[in-house]
Structure 1
Amino acid sequence: MTQKLYYLDQYIRDFKTKLISQERSEDGRWFAILEETAFYPAGGGQPSDTGTLNDNAVVEVEEIAGVIRHYMDRPLESSHEVEGRIEWDKRLDHMQQHSGQHILSAAFSGSSGYETVSFHLGKETCSIDLNIEEISEEDCMKAEALANQKIMENIPIHTKWISKNELAHYPLRKTPTVEKDIRLVIIPGFDYNGCGGTHPKSTGQAGMIKILDWEKQRKNIRVTFVCGKRVTSQLHQKNEVLKELTGVLNAPPPQMSQAVRTLIENANKNEKLLAEARETILDYEADILSRSFEDIKGLKVVKQIFSQRSMADLQHLAKGVLQANEAVVLLVSENGDKLQFVFGSAKADKNMKELMAYAVQLTEGKGGGRPSLAQGGGNAVLTGEELMERLLDKF
């Protein structure tokens, strides 16, 4: 069995060991099995370490049936001795986030009695799910303040292997899910919890904890947070946004909310005015169209071919023409590789639904409606003019 150096010293970055074997996984990936490893395999909500074995990239590490697999981008060259190197910035980040999760979970438990039921360590943010259905900002701020207080106290973080029989000697926040090889992560006087992850030597190395958001997740509350260097990264990103918005809105941060609300209100007013203006223009256009009818086989027919007009526009125009005339209206719009069309009739003996069925057959499209007004669209397998000619042949 591979010796787990990351439990002996979580600060080991480089190590030398012997290659036991290398094999292909069930999905064809190469992996190495080593006598010793400092690479932490994924587990307990913490992603695996990455790094290198000799010159090979280690892209993932997992433990299956007690065997630690180091997945590589290619097989190692024949070599008995292997030099491993951990991607330290990633390991340190994981240690900060994981220890921060323990501290924040203990803070929620201590300040409000809320227990953590799951943990996720993502690439940019982390989250815990609390066993409650509602939470207040005050609850979150109390827990955050307590967590950062414990970080400032720089309390040592200890790990200890115990048996199942020894569990009763510790005030555990949560009962471990395993019965053998139980590893406790202990923040004396504050948190005692079973965990197989990597952690720094003291709470101070978690850096800082900042809660970003919270939301309902089924019957739980999911709290999103960051720790350590990620707090600085989040602060930088948000500060850059604030700087840009200060110029765009011509307002300092405390006044930005009101400035944005004013912009939205003005935009809504302008949108309404534009919609009214567009409707007026369409009414005017429909009036002009209604006067340009042609006499085709004794019928008043208003026909027009457009370019890049929406279905809503075509429908508005058709209805406007029908209100002004007892006519048949045929409107077609050429929209790139598509055709859209609306047909209407004030004549009971002219069924536009049947004409629509013919049009969609010609254009490999879809459509429907009523005998008095139908709409549809299809592919531009023929021009708008050609489609119009075919429709008129049906009269």
Structure 2
Amino acid sequence: MKELLYYQDVMLREFDASIVRTGIDEANRYYVVLSNTAFYPTGGGQPHDTGTLNNVPVIDVEKIDDEIRHYMQGKLTALDGVVHGKLDWTRRFDHMQQHAGQHILTAAFVELFSAQTVAFHLGSEHVTIDIAIDAVTEQQLAEAEARANAIILENRPIETVWVTEKELTTYQLRKEVAVLGDIRLVIIPDFDYNGCGGTHPTSTGQVSALKILGTEKMKGNVRISFVCGQRVLHELAMRKKVLADVARQLSVPEIEAATALTKILTAQKHTEKALATAKESLLQYEAQALIEQNTTVVAAAFHQRTMQELQKIARTIVTQQADSTVLLVSQNDSKLQFVAAKGKNVTQSMKVIAEKILPLINGKGGGNDQMIQGGGDYTMTKEQLLEAMQNA
């Protein structure tokens, strides 16, 4: 392991190696095994490298048993003998920045709050760590972020060393290592000592910056999302664009956008409350108008009324008129909805009405003897459906 090129020189971007063998896996993917490689395989929370071998794209890299397989795009006719490998350096260096940033942030939480990291994931946009703590405050997040960025700014070296199990006792490890035999330690002097098989830059300054983005509860721990390096600039650019757009729509400077938005949302809540009150009054008025018809069967057709509104009108009427049956229909775009309800003195079950009219509109419905509701396709006009309900 220690002889692999990505461990020998983590900054190596191009290399030459001999093809040891080629093959096709069970998923019919072509792969190449080399005499040595600078391509890092997926592992330890860090994604694989990509790049080319003799200009043929390497799309995946995996360590299978004792060999590292380079999965190629297409067949292997262009590969033979000694090949020239070239990493997608933008991708590799991004992974190195994020992974080193994870070490630094993890160590900061241990140093400040004795909170160990129990899980790590390096995603394509954000990085996450799960820390063993019930809850974390904004103040704690700010302190950990400040400590991490201080370590980055100090540009401390990031060192690696291979040790045996016996030699581990000479290092103050952040946590116990799970591997046996030769063990690779990644060290930030006087700050973090940790067993790790991933790739990292050679100094903390190359991480550039670290920004915590948010937290969420995760199985009794706290998951923290963050970004490092170039991703901080991408995140800043995205948020700047969003903020500028919001400020433009609110016609205020960006610094006043939050205050302006709060005012609008408050006004909207008042408007929604007033609208709900007005709708309630309208429903009561319509119900009373139908009651004044003084008929045993109250029937009405509406346009663009919700099921809840139809039910409310029907309940109001049958509550006041125990001898009435209420039949209501609404056309909503290309759908029909209906409600049938009865007062307590009416013996006919409303289910009978539903059974007869649902097939007419390819509909579905539900309810009980006192009230049923349903809806279906616009196979007839709302007036025709209302007439069918009256004749049921």
User: What's the TM-score, normalizing by structure 2?
Assistant: 0.90
Cα distance change, pair 324–139 in 1 and its aligned pair in 2 (3 A):
closer
Maintained 8 Å contact 1:315/1:342? yes
Aligned to 1:247: 248
Aligned to 2:143: 142
Q: Distance in 1 between matches of 2:234 and 2:259?
A: 27
Letter of the aligned partner of 1:19 in structure 2?
I
Letter of the aligned partner of 1:40 in structure 2?
Y
Q: Distance in 1 between matches of 2:57 and 2:331?
A: 54
Letter of the aligned partner of 1:329 in structure 2?
V
SS of aligned partner of 1:37: coil
Q: Once the two structures are aligned, what percentage of the paired residues are identical?
A: 44
* Aligned: 1:330 with 2:327: yes
Alpha-carbon shift at residue 391 of structure 1 (Å): 3.0
Maintained 8 Å contact 2:158/2:204? yes
SS of aligned partner of 2:110: helix
Letter of the aligned partner of 1:330 in structure 2?
L
Maintained 8 Å contact 1:2/1:33? no
Within a 5 Å distance, the mapping from 1:54-133 to structure 2 comes to: 54-80=54-80, 81-133=82-134
Maintained 8 Å contact 2:2/2:8? no
Q: Deviations over 1:66-113 (max 9, x none)?
A: 221222231221531333221111111111111111111112222222
Aligned to 1:296: none
Q: Deviations over 1:203-226 (max 9, x none)?
A: 110101122222322221222211
Which range moved further: 353-362 or 67-76? Answer: 353-362
Letter of the aligned partner of 2:261 in structure 1?
V
Cα distance change, pair 55–263 in 1 and its aligned pair in 2 (3 A):
same
Aligned to 1:308: 304
Which range moved further: 170-179 or 214-223? Answer: 214-223
Letter of the aligned partner of 1:23 in structure 2?
G
* Aligned: 1:343 with 2:374: no
Aligned length: 389
- Unpaired runs of 5+ residues, structure 2, are none
Maintained 8 Å contact 1:111/1:143? yes
Maintained 8 Å contact 2:56/2:78? no
Alpha-carbon shift at residue 246 of structure 1 (Å): 3.0
Which range moved further: 163-172 or 65-74? Answer: 65-74
Q: Deviations over 1:6-42 (max 9, x none)?
A: 1111122222322233322222222222222211111
* Aligned: 1:18 with 2:27: no
SS of aligned partner of 2:347: coil
Q: Distance in 1 between matches of 2:8 and 2:93?
A: 16
User: What's the TM-score, normalizing by structure 1?
Assistant: 0.89
Letter of the aligned partner of 1:62 in structure 2?
E
Q: Distance in 1 between matches of 2:349 and 2:69?
A: 71
Cα distance change, pair 337–67 in 1 and its aligned pair in 2 (3 A):
farther
Letter of the aligned partner of 1:63 in structure 2?
K
Cα distance change, pair 219–305 in 1 and its aligned pair in 2 (3 A):
same
Letter of the aligned partner of 1:217 in structure 2?
M
Q: Deviations over 1:186-218 (max 9, x none)?
A: 112221111111111111101011222223222
SS of aligned partner of 1:36: coil
Letter of the aligned partner of 1:199 in structure 2?
H
SS of aligned partner of 2:352: helix
Q: Distance in 1 between matches of 2:388 and 2:271?
A: 42
Match of 1:391 among 386, 389, 392: 389
Cα distance change, pair 360–104 in 1 and its aligned pair in 2 (3 A):
same
Aligned to 2:280: 279
Q: Distance in 2 between matches of 1:312 and 1:255?
A: 40
Maintained 8 Å contact 1:20/1:34? yes
Aligned to 1:366: 364
Cα distance change, pair 38–251 in 1 and its aligned pair in 2 (3 A):
same
CA RMSD of aligned residues (A): 2.5
Which range moved further: 85-94 or 137-146? Answer: 137-146
